[in-house]
Amino acid sequence: MNKLDKHEKRHIRLQICELLDSHCHTCPERIKYRSTVCLQVCPVSQEMRQLAALLEGDSPADPQPREPVVEQAQNTQKRKGRWSAEEVFYLWHHRKVLTIDELANRLNREPKAVYEKLKQLLQKGGISDAG
């Protein structure tokens, strides 16, 4: 394990500050849901955790952020009913990155339910109106 010098550490701290300033400071989900969503599903939060792990002397591949609650129940019956705020957040922020089938698998929901929820969110204009 090679040690970081003070300039490298400073650069990492500045990257974390930049993420906080550019994303977290104005993030409506952070304000609405507090830190629950940030800690569980936000990709920016995961990136900051990886940077922090570098400062702590861990390898960036070593830290395993807590799996989001929405991804924990993979081998059980598909979820039905009301969507949690975390599920809605995850769906909204991964809609352009993952397919409907991938989202359904990660959210432990039927693809049709994921499609319908996403359609509903799009009609409402995003997650700021969803709850």
- pLDDT tens for 83-96 read 988 888 888 888 88
| Backbone phi, psi, residue 7, to 5° | -70, -40
Q: Residue 44 corresponds to which tokens in the numbers above?
A: 């920016």
**E strand or H helix that includes residue 116:** helix 111-124
- pLDDT tens for 88-130 read 888 888 888 888 888 888 899 998 999 889 888 888 887 764 3
Mean pLDDT over 69-82 rounds to 64
Domain borders along the chain are 1-66, 68-131
Give the percent of the chain with pLDDT over 70: 70
How far is residue 118's CA from residue 11's CA, in Å, rounded to a whole number? Answer: 38
